Amino acid sequence: MARITVKVHPRARQTRVAGRLGGAWKLDLAAPPVDGKANEACIRFFADLAGVPQSRVRIVLGLSNRTKVIEIDGASQEVLESRLTPFLPK
């Protein structure tokens, strides 16, 4: 099981990883923070990134905050980090 901390920026132009901020990954989300749409977009993004069904991704901390802790069942920490690393600025 992988666990990752993200700082989300809702209502961005597009959904993408925008780099790192301390120990958290910055995630731009096109979805607004209304009626759980940003949380759904965050779950969808990490499910696609990890290659697992959305039902295996959950927000364990920060449902109503910009800083969230995401758990992904069925993906290792190493694989998740390796898939996020290309998004870091060069």
Confidence check: pLDDT of 53 > 90 = yes
Any idea where the domains of the chain sit in the sequence? 2-75
Positive or negative, the CA dihedral 77, 78, 82, 83 is negative
Q: Report d(CA 83, CA 51) in Å as an integer.
A: 11
Confidence check: pLDDT of 8 > 90 = yes
**Run of H or E including 58:** strand 57-61
Percent of the chain at pLDDT exceeding 90 = 83
Q: How distant, in Å, are the alpha carbons of 7, 46, 56, 69, 82 from that of 65? A: 9, 17, 21, 10, 26
Q: Please give the CATH superfamily to which domain 2-75 belongs.
A: YggU-like (3.30.1200.10)
